[in-house]
Structure 1
Amino acid sequence: MLCAAGAAVSHAAAASADLLKVRLGGDSAQTRIVIDLDRSASVKLVSDGAADRRVTVVLTGVTAASDLQGKGQGLVSAWAVDQTAGGARLQMDLAADAKVKRRFLLPPADGISHYRYVVDVARLEPAEARLIKAEAAAPKLRLKPLAARAALPTRKVVVIDAGHGGHDPGARGVQGYEKDLNLAAARALKARLEKGGRYKVIMTRDADAYVGLASRVRTAQRAGADLFISLHADSGPEAGLRGASVYTLSDKATARSAQFVSREDWFMKASMSGDRGVSDILLDLTQRATRNRSAGFAQTLLSRLEGRTPLLRRSHRDAGFMVLLAPDVPAVLLEMGFISNSQDEQLLRDPERRAEFMDAVGDSIDDYFGATRLASR
């Protein structure tokens, strides 16, 4: 049921609900936040963001996974969820003068099996923003200045994909299968990234198990990943062929990305204007931006690997690998070397050399996100 703008939404829950996911869509004029819930829940708007650019919503009795947070979009610069005594609390920092315009709860419908609590944030007119700030500055309110407020956590989410696994062993070397090398490297990279506490690291697999290619992409999308890196070991017809290479998505494969756009994701964005054509435009723009970011990271990665491990002569390549298809997640596939080459295989099997290799990959990820932060200022 839709509620009037600013009205409280109360929907009694028969049992405790779980917060499944937080999704954002829209632009710098209006941004929509969708909170996916497995059951209905009562929701309280604590702060609408108009006075101090922070929106706070408490979902009564709702349980959220720990360390749930993500990057912003449109009017939202960052968001984070924590657990309080009353339930799950969602806080969002706004990138401009704006406030909550409307809120409503959507029950399961049209093929969507879960509840969705929707919050629309709209930019304030300059005169309205000045009036609200003047009122907020009054001593009686004693609001904490924005500059003095602690920023929301903004750890980058990196998904590491160990290629193959289970009944899909990948290529075979003299000493074993590719799937085992990929998993060992993924674990080493995870350890490297988690040392500094800057990243939330998610593995598509952490055991010798088969995971479908589409499921690997969905894992990155559900996590709101800032970067996806798939680790593999190459194989060639000539034993002397060796060296690492990096793949990004080819132009010809972009049309296949549509399979990773769910109906509900693009309904969320397009419904703001009532124009279904908007979804196609947003998809195209998103794909272009994602491919540019992927290519940028690939170059950064190769610059870090150069001199530390052999590289193929044409080390940056493009292909239509399924794991690269997510239109909203920058992604690369790293061929760490040739398992069919005895020198490359030995390098990848040696724990010390493998750790050095993954340190270089970790350094490239640090470089990439450092450049991203500087470019966004």
Structure 2
Amino acid sequence: MVPGPVVHAAEPVPLLAFGARVAGDDARTRVVVQFDRKPDFSIHYVANPVRVVVDLPETAFGLKAESLEPRGLFEAIRYGGMGAGSSRLVLSAKGPVAVTNAEVIEEEGGKSYRLVIDAEKVDQPRFDALLGDQQWTGSVVAAKTDRPTIAPAEKGGAFVIAIDAGHGGIDTGAIGGATKTEEKHVTLAFAQELVATLSRESGIEAFLTRDKDVFLSLPQRVQIARNKGANLFISIHADTLRQKDIRGATVYTISDKASDHLAADLAQRENLSDEIAGVPLQSEPAEVADILIDLTRRETQAFSVNMARTVVSSFEGQINLINNPHRHAGFRVLQAPDVPSILLELGFMSNKDDEKLLLDPEWRKKVSGLLAVAIKRYRDQAVANGG
């Protein structure tokens, strides 16, 4: 008997959100999103600041930016992927709110469906009661991050590097001033190029924390690196500034005190990633709460600073650097107590010259090569010093 062809299960087709509108005032606001198929959804509340979180199956958002322009009770509205076949709509409120009605309405005999969400202003005690009554921690769409047992690396084994493409999914990051390109796409394109470059190097094993447009929380990024026994963690970013004339790369390390206002402001913005995605604010695990306390963490920080200086040295005279290119601040994504970590700001999407370079594949290849040189130099020093 001749076996028949192997049939593989088709990937689920994402929902399509193709239209939306927001209407209302500071007392009541309605949000409507149109889908091509009936969406399952769930609604939750998050405090500090107040957000209404709408979890959806995986959804392609074919929406015009102005269709979900915030108004009424809401000061910001964001949407995007959350990984694991799910997506999310986050409504950031100006104050305590309650959803009074949420329903899906069939249109045109099932040709499309409307998700209608009505919210009203409430007092703080009522909002607190809503928070207390819900059984939700935001973990329903989080990737599994339990740390497996890691076998000790054999002497002479691969030097493992985690390359973290900043932002992703619902968290778009900065928006380019000229092209409106989202930072999450810039960071992923560079991270992929860097991993490809490093993979050609003997004795180096590089991997991506995310390999597609999905959201990862800041603690998840740290834990992924630790789970895989990373010897080094590099987070890639391309921010924007109000001062559009500022350009060039910057390398950041963690510190409990920022080196300057620019570093402090950048860290504050980057640390809002989880808030943007509607992840509840939780206290940090004890093991990462006070990163600069004991000797082990101080040693890790020393290795991080050494890596930052090595990168700056490799870049000097080759690509544009900001003034004082090694800076430091309290970046949550750099807080692994046992993995030397840096955040590399490739340039600024707010500067037209930087933005042009960030979108240039040849420039990405050049910078990846320079970074690989720095990483190999750092690896040799770290191995010689027992790092």
Counterpart position of 1:204: 209
Given that residues 150 and 229 in structure 2 are in contact (C-alpha distance below 8 angstroms), is that contact kept between their aligned partners in structure 1? no
Aligned 8 A contact 1:157 1:225 in 2: yes
Alignment partners' CA distance in 2, 1:162 and 1:115: 23
Correspondent of 1:306 among 309, 316, 339:
316
Structure 1 residues 116 and 358: alpha-carbon distance in aligned structure 2, compared to 1, 3 A threshold: closer
Task: Provide the C-alpha distance between the structure 2 equivalents of 1:356 and 1:296, rounded to a whole number of angstroms.
Answer: 22
Q: 1:340 to 1:200 in 2, by over 3 A?
A: same
Match of 1:352 among 362, 366, 383: 362
Name 1:156's counterpart in structure 2: 159
**In structure 1, what is the equivalent of residue 170 of structure 2?**
167
Aligned pair partner of 1:259 in 273, 280, 284:
284
Contact 1:337 1:345 in 2 (8 A): yes
The answer on 1:328 being equivalent to 2:338 is yes
- Partner SS, residue 338 of structure 1: coil
What's 1:219 paired with? 224
Q: CA RMSD in A?
A: 3.1
CA spacing shift, 1:374–1:344, aligned 2, 3 Å:
same
**Which position in structure 1 is the counterpart of 2:83?**
none
- Do 1:283 and 1:327's aligned partners in 2 also have CA atoms closer than 8 Å? no
Residue in structure 2 matching 1:185, options 176, 183, 190: 190
Letter of the 2:166 counterpart: G
- Measured against aligned partners, the alpha-carbon deviations of 1:240-264 in whole angstroms (never above 9, x if no partner) come to 11011011011349xxxx935569x
CA contact 2:173–2:239 (8 Å) conserved in 1:
no
Between the aligned residues of both structures, percent identity stands at: 43
Q: For the residues of structure 2 that align with 1:260 and 1:294, how far apart are their CA atoms?
A: 21
Query: 1:117, CA displacement in angstroms?
Result: 12
**Equivalent residues in 2 for 1:23-102, closer than 5 Å:** none
What is the CA distance between 1:115 and its match in structure 2? 11
Aligned length: 215
Corresponding residue of 1:268:
none
Question: Residues 311-337 of structure 1: CA distance to partner in whole angstroms, max 9, x if unpaired?
Answer: 111211111111111111100000000
| CA separation of 1:359 and 1:114: change in aligned 2, threshold 3 A | closer
Pair 1:260–1:218, CA change in 2 (3 A): farther
Report the residue type matching 2:308 in the other structure. A
Alignment correspondent of 2:326: 316
1:260–1:325 Cα contact (<8 Å) kept? no
- Give the structure 2 partner of residue 34 of structure 1: none
Q: Which residue of the partner structure matches residue 38 of structure 1? A: none
Secondary structure at 1:234 match in 2: coil
Contact 1:260 1:326 in 2 (8 A): no
CA spacing shift, 1:114–1:341, aligned 2, 3 Å: closer
Q: Does 1:363 align with 2:373?
A: yes
How has the CA–CA distance of structure 1 residues 240 and 226 changed in structure 2, closer, same or farther, with 3 Å as cutoff? same
Which stretches in structure 2 are left out of the alignment for 5+ residues?
A: 1-145, 259-282
Task: Give the Cα–Cα distance (whole angstroms) in 1 for the partners of residues 212 and 156 of structure 2.
Answer: 30
Q: Which runs of 5+ in 1 are unaligned?
A: 1-112, 120-150, 264-279
**How big is the shift at 1:238?**
1.9
